Structure 1
Amino acid sequence: MGKSYSLTPLFFALCTLHYIIMQIVNKKAKFNYNLFERIEAGISLLGAEAKAVRGGHVNLSDSFAKIIDREIYLVNANIPVEGKKDYSSTRTRKLLLHKDQIISIQTKIKQKRLTLVPTKIYTKGNLAKIELALAKSKRKFEKKESIKKKDIQREMEQELREKLK
């Protein structure tokens, strides 16, 4: 008979644990939109694009997701690739979701007049993932309110630090 090995809970924890190595956040999304439901999706990239994502060379500030023929595409995300001259860094990229997820997202977008905004792109293990949020655009006065709230919060924190010294 061969040796029998007992699998410890630590082994299972290490197998199921996914390491997030690189994470790029879209800071403009929180400022320009009211974010509601968040969805994790895979993203279809070329080899050089995956290397750029791992290196953190991604700009999501003006990008959005669009549903075309029951498939979701990431539009206007800037992922520059070094060494290629005929390459478009803002090409549309297919997002990987299940059909039932896409249909539910599509109905929510139509019913509530929402948009799909990318909030994060990160690597999970050796896979590139993107976090999308169903969002509604803020108006100018809402943006001004959020700036005022941040300023007040910052001033309160500074006063607390001064009192604690």
Structure 2
Amino acid sequence: MGKDTGRKLIAQNKKARHDYLILDTYEAGLVLTGTEVKSLRQGRASLADGFAHLDGGEIWLHNVHIPEYSQGTWTNHTARRKRKLLLHRAEIDKLIGKTQESGLTIVPLALYFKDGRAKVEIALARGKREYDKRQTLREKQDQREAQRAISAARRKFRG
């Protein structure tokens, strides 16, 4: 029995793309316990309130909810504990430098298995204001309407 290949998505943070302007993305490994991995393999996790924080030259993931493993014993993990992110030193230094700027934060976008290992996609992001969110929604809606009009015109032209 070989290792899993490819990317198997566990959880996504769709609200982050709505609430933040994504400037840069990184792929990071996670330091997990055995029961956390088993719980993730069942496809159970939530990134809704998650954020990353710098502490002592390391990056930690906070408020990511990985529920307790149902068949776990007394060795089970805490659902919302802080988890260490595994990144290259150059990436950590770059993130430290960028987050010193005002208004930048690190948010998790997706949690997935890549070649059998748990990974998290984190993003360097700037919070959007309310009018920015409305403008983004309006642009998406206009794009959708334009695509609909183009496809309707193509159908009419063919038919």
Alignment equivalent of 2:110, drawn from 102, 120, 134? 120
Q: Paired residue for 2:13?
A: 26
User: Take 1:59 and 1:137, find their aligned partners in 2: how far apart are those partners?
Assistant: 20
1:69 aligns with 2:59: no
Counting aligned pairs with the same residue, the percent is: 35
Secondary structure at 2:64 match in 1: coil
Q: Paired residue for 1:134?
A: 124
Structure 2 counterpart of 1:41, which letter?
A
Structure 1 counterpart of 2:154, which letter?
L
Gapped runs of 5+ residues in structure 2? Answer: none
1:154 offset after TM fit, Å? 2.0
Q: Are the counterparts in 2 of residues 22 and 54 from structure 1 also a CA contact under 8 Å?
A: no
Q: Are the counterparts in 2 of residues 32 and 143 from structure 1 also a CA contact under 8 Å?
A: yes
User: Take 2:83 and 2:58, find their aligned partners in 1: how far apart are those partners?
Assistant: 11
User: Take 2:67 and 2:31, find their aligned partners in 1: how far apart are those partners?
Assistant: 15
Structure 2 counterpart of 1:77, which letter?
V
TM-score by length of 1: 0.80
Q: How many residues were matched structurally?
A: 148
Cα RMSD for the two superposed structures: 2.0
Q: Structure 1 residues 147-156 or 72-81, which shifts more?
A: 147-156
1:61 offset after TM fit, Å? 1.6
The structure with the largest alpha-carbon Rg is 1
Q: Alpha carbons of 1:162 and 1:112: their partners in 2 closer, same or farther (altered >3 Å)? A: same
Q: Are the counterparts in 1 of residues 109 and 121 from structure 2 also a CA contact under 8 Å?
A: yes
Q: Paired residue for 1:49?
A: 36
1:134 offset after TM fit, Å? 0.6
TM-score by length of 2: 0.82
Gapped runs of 5+ residues in structure 1? Answer: 1-17
Q: Are the counterparts in 2 of residues 58 and 78 from structure 1 also a CA contact under 8 Å?
A: yes
Secondary structure at 1:59 match in 2: coil
Q: Paired residue for 2:65?
A: 78
Q: Are the counterparts in 2 of residues 44 and 94 from structure 1 also a CA contact under 8 Å?
A: yes
User: Take 1:117 and 1:73, find their aligned partners in 2: how far apart are those partners?
Assistant: 11
Q: Structure 1 residues 136-145 or 150-159, which shifts more?
A: 150-159
Q: Are the counterparts in 1 of residues 59 and 85 from structure 2 also a CA contact under 8 Å?
A: yes
